[in-house]
Chains A and B, each alone.
Chain A
Amino acid sequence: NAGVTQTPKFQVLKTGQSMTLQCAQDMNHNSMYWYRQDPGMGLRLIYYSASEGTTDKGEVPNGYNVSRLNKREFSLRLESAAPSQTSVYFCASSDLRRTDTQYFGPGTRLTVL
């Protein structure tokens, strides 16, 4: 099992460009999450999907959209990237019955110039 996979691993964008970060899990988990990690700020939840067909805002949703494509895949879209969105983005998944136990992907390092 690959666990949680993310693509791309690195990305550089110019201000105003758009992109989609992809995430997939093969653990048959119902719930999936997108976090960003910034120095001194810890992990902050952007959006989550409790189950297929549902998505909800987390702590810092502004400037992002998500799509739960199917049970395996959860994508994060930046419609018009801003330098403040320079960060490391992590996708995670969990079983619906134990959402306190989350499994993380390797991350995407995004730089917005």
Chain B
Amino acid sequence: TQLLEQSPQFLSIQEGENLTVYCNSSSVFSSLQWYRQEPGEGPVLLVTVVTGGEVKKLKRLTFQFGDARKDSSLHITAAQPGDTGLYLCAGDPKSGGSNYKLTFGKGTLLTVNP
């Protein structure tokens, strides 16, 4: 079983601060996804990264896939209360995007205080 370890598990910051959350594994993944989940809702896909070293930006969010495709990070600049939520990473261990069994991390619960 390939595991994805997310850190930190909990993060509470003030509005305007920057933060980084990590998703690490000892296994190689063909792609990696980041989701955000708000209380009482289902996870919403933010981004998929597929190439080692890839960097994707989504407004104030920057996602990076490690060169060896074993890890990823999510950096948020100038966090806002609307960024509050559970951030999940998920990985596809097989090439071609045709594996049905994604591996999910346990999540980072982010709270941004006004």
Residues of chain A whose beta carbon lies under 8 Å from any beta carbon of chain B: 4, 31, 33, 40-45, 48, 50, 56, 58-59, 90, 92, 96-107
Contact = CB atoms under 8 A, between A and B. Distances in A.
B106 A42 contact: yes
Interface stretch (B14-22, B70-78, B95-103): B95-103
Nearest to B105: A42
A31 B41 CA distance: 21
B97 A98 contact: yes
B101 A45 contact: yes
Contact of B43 (A31, A44, A90, A98): A90
A40 B106 contact: yes
16 contacts: A42-B105, A43-B43, A43-B104, A45-B101, A45-B102, A48-B101, A97-B98, A99-B97, A99-B100, A100-B33, A100-B48, A100-B90, A100-B92, A102-B90, A102-B102, A107-B40
Q: Which of B30, B88, B100 has the most CB of A within 10 A?
A: B100
A99 B99 contact: yes
B43 A101 contact: no
Contacts of A4: 42
Contacts of B31: 100
Given A42-B105, A100-B31, A31 B42 contact: no
Across the A-B interface, give the 3 residue pairs with the lowest CB-CB distance, nearest first: A104-B42, A100-B92, A42-B106
B45 interface: yes
Contacts of B48: 100-101
Contact of A99 (B41, B44, B92, B104): B92
Nearest to B42: A104
Contacts of A33: 100
